[in-house]
């Protein structure tokens, strides 16, 4: 992918928290060293040091790029774009129901959402992942676990 703004940045994908704000000392899940500075939380159970979070991001990023290269395609003919018809509107015009803008950005969004396989495939993958996460949570023995339940055993 040739977009220079598309890059694997751990601080974008992980929640980065200064270690001094955490209630405990933190060990990196990957290299098992103590973490100083920022701890990168994966949203699950693990913290990573800066180096390991960046390495993990780059590895997953590479897999995601390869998947996108293989699976994404233009599914329908792209409409022509006429710069002479460019139309931008203000927020007030939008709320009054004016037509959609005709700008390079609006054209790009239309092509991405309605002329590629992004819409169906993207939603299907997102929904499948979301469903699986919900399923795993609801099946986990500690999900919605109430401490008083332990007393009954």
Give the integer Cα–Cα distance in Å for 16 and 49.
Answer: 10
Lowest mean pLDDT among 1-5, 70-74, 114-118, 121-125: 1-5
pLDDT tens, position by position, 56-105: 988 888 888 888 888 888 989 998 888 888 877 777 776 777 667 778 88
Query: Residue 35 pLDDT > 90, yes or no?
Result: yes
Please calculate the CA angle 104-110-114 and round it to the nearest 5 degrees: 155
pLDDT tens, position by position, 86-95: 877 777 776 7
Percent helix, strand, coil in the chain, to 5, is 50, 10, 40
Contact 40, 11 (CB under 8 A): yes
Q: In what order do the strands lie in the sheet with 47-48?
A: 15-18, 38-41, 47-48
Confidence of residue 5 (pLDDT cuts 50, 70, 90): low
Q: Where are the domains of the chain?
A: 1-71
Tokens standing for residue 32: 């098992």
Beta pairing, strands 15-18 & 38-41? antiparallel
């Amino acid at each position: 992918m040739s977009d220079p703004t598309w890059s694997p940045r751990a601080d974008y994908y992980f929640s980065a928290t200064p270690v001094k704000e955490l209630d405990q000392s933190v060990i990196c899940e990957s290299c098992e060293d103590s973490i100083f500075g920022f701890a990168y939380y994966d949203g699950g159970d693990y913290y990573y040091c800066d180096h390991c979070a960046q390495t993990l991001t780059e590895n997953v990023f590479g897999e995601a790029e390869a998947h996108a290269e293989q699976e994404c395609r233009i599914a329908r003919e792209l409409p022509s774009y006429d710069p002479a018809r460019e139309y931008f509107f203000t927020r007030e015009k939008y709320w009054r129901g004016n037509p959609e803008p005709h700008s390079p950005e609006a054209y790009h969004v239309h092509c991405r959402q309605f002329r590629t396989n992004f819409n169906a495939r993207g939603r299907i993958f997102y929904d499948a992942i979301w469903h699986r996460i919900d399923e795993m949570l609801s099946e986990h023995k500690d999900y919605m676990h109430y401490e008083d339940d332990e007393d009954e055993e």
